């Protein structure tokens, strides 16, 4: 049993704790602010619930995946005519290690690109406003992570921006910049 097998479960538990802390902090908002803008109290709770649900799903999936990996470890060894008897796990681990070496750069590059785009979004949000900066952010993120269909990029960027704007403006009664 390795810790690597349970890393997603550990992250999920930490995120569940974060969601609980986030929900607690949202409940601590001063009442005068909550009465002035009711959406101000609802939005953090919605975010906490969304993080909690996603974390729970990640936890369940990671535990199922770890259980499946545990059952694969008990399989019979493979016989390679040139090298003799090798365990199935060693060959799979070797293959995944080689694949990991080949894909190391994108795994490091993706978070850096994502953070750079989000920092730029923060500056653009103040300069040009939500309705211009948000579709640009979403389009850049989709492009950065490999989406190449312009229909998908434009549709998701415009659609998500509109839905978020309408939720904030009409349901939460919060005006976006």
Q: What is the pLDDT of residue 46?
A: 82
| C-beta of residue 129 within 8 angstroms of C-beta of residue 175 | no
The whole model's pTM is what?
A: 0.46
pLDDT at 157: 92
Question: In this structure, are residues 41 and 26 in contact, taking their beta carbons and an 8 Å threshold?
Answer: yes
Please tell me the predicted confidence (pLDDT) of residue 111: 73
Mean pLDDT per block of 10 residues along the chain (177 residues) reads: 71 86 80 67 79 87 78 52 49 52 57 81 87 91 85 92 89 79
Cα–Cα distance measured from residue 56 to residue 12, given in angstroms and rounded to the nearest whole number: 7
Give percent of the chain above pLDDT 70: 69
Q: Hey, how many other C-beta atoms are within 10 angstroms of the C-beta on 161?
A: 21
Measured in whole angstroms, the distance separating CA 103 from the mean position of its chain's CA atoms is 19
- Triad 39, 43, 46: Cα angle to 5°: 135
The pLDDT score that the predictor gives to residue 123 is 87
List, in sequence order, the alpha helices (H) in the chain. 7-27, 31-36, 39-73, 88-102, 104-128, 130-144, 150-166
Confidence at residue 107, expressed as pLDDT on a 0 to 100 scale: 60
Helix axes 104-128, 130-144, angle to 10 degrees: 170
Task: Give the dihedral of Cα atoms 80, 81, 84, 90; nearest 10 deg.
Answer: -10
């Amino acid at each position: 049993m390795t810790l690597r097998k349970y890393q997603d479960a550990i992250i999920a538990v930490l995120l569940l704790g974060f969601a609980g802390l986030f929900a607690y902090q949202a409940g601590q908002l001063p009442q005068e602010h909550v009465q002035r803008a009711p959406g101000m109290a609802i939005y953090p709770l919605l975010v906490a619930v969304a993080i909690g649900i996603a974390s729970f799903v990640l936890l369940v999936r990671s535990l199922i995946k770890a259980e499946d990996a545990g059952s694969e470890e008990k399989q019979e060894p493979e016989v390679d005519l040139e090298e003799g008897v090798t365990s199935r796990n060693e060959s799979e681990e070797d293959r995944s290690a080689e694949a990991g070496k080949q894909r190391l750069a994108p795994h490091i590059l993706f978070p850096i690109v994502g953070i750079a785009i989000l920092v730029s979004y923060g500056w653009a949000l103040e300069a040009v406003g939500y309705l211009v900066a948000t579709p640009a952010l979403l389009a850049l993120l989709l492009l950065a992570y490999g989406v190449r269909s312009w229909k998908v990029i434009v549709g998701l960027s415009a659609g998500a921006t509109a839905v978020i704007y309408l939720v904030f403006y009409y349901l939460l009664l919060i005006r976006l910049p």
